[in-house]
Amino acid sequence: MTDTTVSKPGQTEVWITGIGLATSLGEGLDANWAALQERRINVDEKNFAPYVVHPLMPVSLDSQIPKKGDQRQMEAWQRIGTYAAGLALDSAGIKGNKDILSRIDMVVAAGGGERDLNVDVGVLTAEARGNNAPGFLNEKLMSDLRPTLFLAQLSNLLAGNIAIVHGVCGTSRTFMGEEVAGADAARIALTRIASGESDIALIGGSHNGERKDLLVLYEFGDFNLKDKFAPIWARKGRGGFALGSGGAFLVLESRAHAEARGAKPYARLSSVVADLSRRRQPGDMTATLEKLWGKLPLGKGKGAIITGATGAEPATEEERAFLKGHAEFPVRATGTMFGHTMETQFPLGLALAALSISRGALFPPNDSTRLEIEMQGAPTQIVVVGAGHWRGEGMALVEAVG
Partner 1 sequence: MTAPRDKLGRPIVVVTGMGIVTSLGAGKADNWAKLVAGESGIRTISRFPIDGLKTTMAGSVDFVTVDPFSSTGLSERMADIATEEALAQAGIGSKGDFPGPLFLAVAPVEVEWPQRRELGRAVGQQDFNYDDLLRISGGGKFAPFHHRFMFASVADHLADTFGTKGSPISLSTACASGATSIQLGVEAIRRGETDAALCVATDGTVNPEALVRFSLLSALSTQNDPPQAASKPFSKNRDGFVMAEGAGALVLESYEAATARGAKILGVIAGCGELTDSFHRTRSSPDGKPIIGCMQKTLADAGMEPGQIDHINAHGTSTPENDKMEYLTAAAVFGDLAQKIPVTSNKSMVGHTISAAGAVEAIFSLLTLEHQLIPPTINYDVPDPAILFNVVGNKAREARVSAVMSNSFGFGGQNASLILTREPA
Quick check: 236 binds partner 1 (CB under 8 A)? no
We find the least distance from the C-beta atom of residue 393 to partner 1, in angstroms, to be 8
Residues numbered 351-380 forming contacts with partner 1, rule: CB under 8 A: none
We find the least distance from the C-beta atom of residue 374 to partner 1, in angstroms, to be 33
353 closest CA partner among 307, 322, 299, 311: 307
> Which residues make Cβ contacts (< 8 Å) with residue 243, sequence separation at least 6?
51, 53, 54, 207, 209, 210, 211, 214, 215, 218, 224, 339, 340, 341, 342
Quick check: 128 binds partner 1 (CB under 8 A)? yes
Segment interacting with partner 1 (CB under 8 A) among 79-87, 217-225, 301-309, 321-329: 217-225
Which member of 170, 283, 299, 364 binds partner 1 (CB under 8 A)? 170
Segment interacting with partner 1 (CB under 8 A) among 12-20, 134-142, 298-306, 360-368: 134-142
Quick check: 229 binds partner 1 (CB under 8 A)? no
Amino acid letter, 76: A
Task: Yes or no: say if 115 and 109 are a contact pair by the CB < 8 Å rule.
Answer: no
Tell me how crowded residue 69 is: count the other CB atoms within 10 A of its CB: 8
Quick check: 347 binds partner 1 (CB under 8 A)? no
Instruction: Convert 20-70 into a string of H (helix), E (strand) and C (coil).
Output: EEEECCEECHHHHHHHHHCCCCCCECCCCCCECEECCCCCCHHHCCCCHHH
> One symbol per residue from 266 to 305: x for binding partner 1 (CB under 8 A), - otherwise; what is it?
--------xxx-x---------------------------
Amino acid letter, 161: N
Query: Residue 360, Cα to own-chain centre: how many angstroms?
Result: 23
Residues numbered 32-71 forming contacts with partner 1, rule: CB under 8 A: 51
We find the least distance from the C-beta atom of residue 308 to partner 1, in angstroms, to be 15
Segment interacting with partner 1 (CB under 8 A) among 13-21, 84-92, 118-126, 372-380: 118-126
Q: Give the separation between CA 29 and CA 23, rounded to whole angstroms.
A: 10
Helices (H), ranges, 296-344: 315-324, 334-338
Is the CB of 140 or the CB of 359 nearer to partner 1? 140
**Site size for partner 1 (CB under 8 A):** 87
| H or E segment to which residue 253 belongs | strand 246-254
Which member of 121, 256, 327, 373 binds partner 1 (CB under 8 A)? 121
Q: Give the separation between CA 146 and CA 306, rounded to whole angstroms.
A: 41
Is the CB of 231 or the CB of 386 nearer to partner 1? 386
Which member of 32, 161, 270, 334 binds partner 1 (CB under 8 A)? 161
Quick check: 391 binds partner 1 (CB under 8 A)? yes
Q: Give the separation between CA 195 and CA 354, rounded to whole angstroms.
A: 22
Residues numbered 138-157 forming contacts with partner 1, rule: CB under 8 A: 138-139, 141-142, 145, 147-151, 153-157
Q: Give the separation between CA 3 and CA 5, rounded to whole angstroms.
A: 6
Quick check: 197 binds partner 1 (CB under 8 A)? yes
Which member of 83, 223, 249, 363 binds partner 1 (CB under 8 A)? 223
Quick check: 176 binds partner 1 (CB under 8 A)? yes
We find the least distance from the C-beta atom of residue 266 to partner 1, in angstroms, to be 25
We find the least distance from the C-beta atom of residue 368 to partner 1, in angstroms, to be 26
80 closest CA partner among 211, 250, 205: 205
Q: Give the separation between CA 288 and CA 29, rounded to whole angstroms.
A: 32
Which member of 31, 57, 215, 401 binds partner 1 (CB under 8 A)? 215
Which member of 15, 33, 218, 322 binds partner 1 (CB under 8 A)? 218
DSSP symbols for 230-249: --GGG--TTB-B-EE-EEEE
